[in-house]
Amino acid sequence: MAVEATYNDDPLFLQTSDNPGLQLITLKLNAHNFQRWSKSIKIALRTKGKLGFLDGSCVRLAANLPQLLQWVKCDSIVLSWLLNSMVLELAEAFLYVNSTNELWSELTKRFGDNNGPLLCQLEKEILELYQGNDSVALYYTKSKKLWEDLSDFSEVPECKCGESCEAVKKFVLMIKGRN
């Protein structure tokens, strides 16, 4: 008799392997790799069913609900996974945030799309890339990685809130700054 695999898509469900010391990804966040790190961490959290703690779609439950303690436990575990995936200096700097979503907001403000120096560095790396002694496959891989990193900076934000949208204003300012 075959055992049927089941999937629990409840974000408050914890597997026995879900503990605060778990290292979800091997890439450590530093001051220069937020784009790649954030993609990796999103993939890992999606597999765990915990992406909602990051983007805020799994909101904190009301104080009168019995599941509040489970929500706090899950959010704390996800928060610890994020801190575990950072270099020590960054993890210590963000140790006092109150939730996973708050940490994510802080990280995207500090290292995300508005990181002009990182964008400039990325554009410089693309301009200076040459094949040299690399094989075609290795050169192509390096080039593709850089262009994919650059495309993360070029994503057009989606507006769901009308003409006063902050994302649209930010995008317009970013485009004007490049011209």
Same domain, 105 and 133: no
Task: Report how far apart the first and last C-alpha atoms of the chain are (Å, whole number).
Answer: 65
Same domain, 81 and 106: yes
Decide if pLDDT at 43 tops 50: yes
Is 3 within a domain? no
Same domain, 104 and 38: yes
Same domain, 96 and 126: no
The pLDDT tens digits for 140-175 are: 888 888 787 777 665 545 566 666 676 667 766 666
Same domain, 70 and 99: yes
Q: What is the residue range of 83's domain?
A: 34-111
The pLDDT tens digits for 64-97 are: 888 999 999 999 999 999 999 999 999 999 999 9
Identity at 178, one-letter amino acid code: R
Is 27 within a domain? no
Is 11 within a domain? no
DSSP reduced 3-state for 121: helix
Is 80 within a domain? yes
How much of the chain, in percent, has pLDDT values that exceed 70?
A: 77
Decide if pLDDT at 5 tops 50: no
Same domain, 123 and 82: no
Is 12 within a domain? no
Domain final position from 57, 87, 111: 111
Does residue 162 or residue 125 have the better pLDDT?
A: 125
Average pLDDT of every residue of the chain: 83
Is 21 within a domain? no
Domain final position from 111, 145, 170: 111
What is the chain's alpha carbon radius of gyration, rounded to the nearest angstrom?
Answer: 19
Task: Supply the pLDDT for residue 81.
Answer: 96
Is 8 within a domain? no
The total domain count for the chain is 2
Decide if pLDDT at 178 tops 60: no
Q: Inter-axis angle of helices 34-48 and 68-84, to 10 degrees?
A: 140
Domain final position from 90, 111, 132: 111
Is 18 within a domain? no
DSSP reduced 3-state for 139: helix
Residue listed under structure tokens 């650059």? 150
Same domain, 130 and 93: no
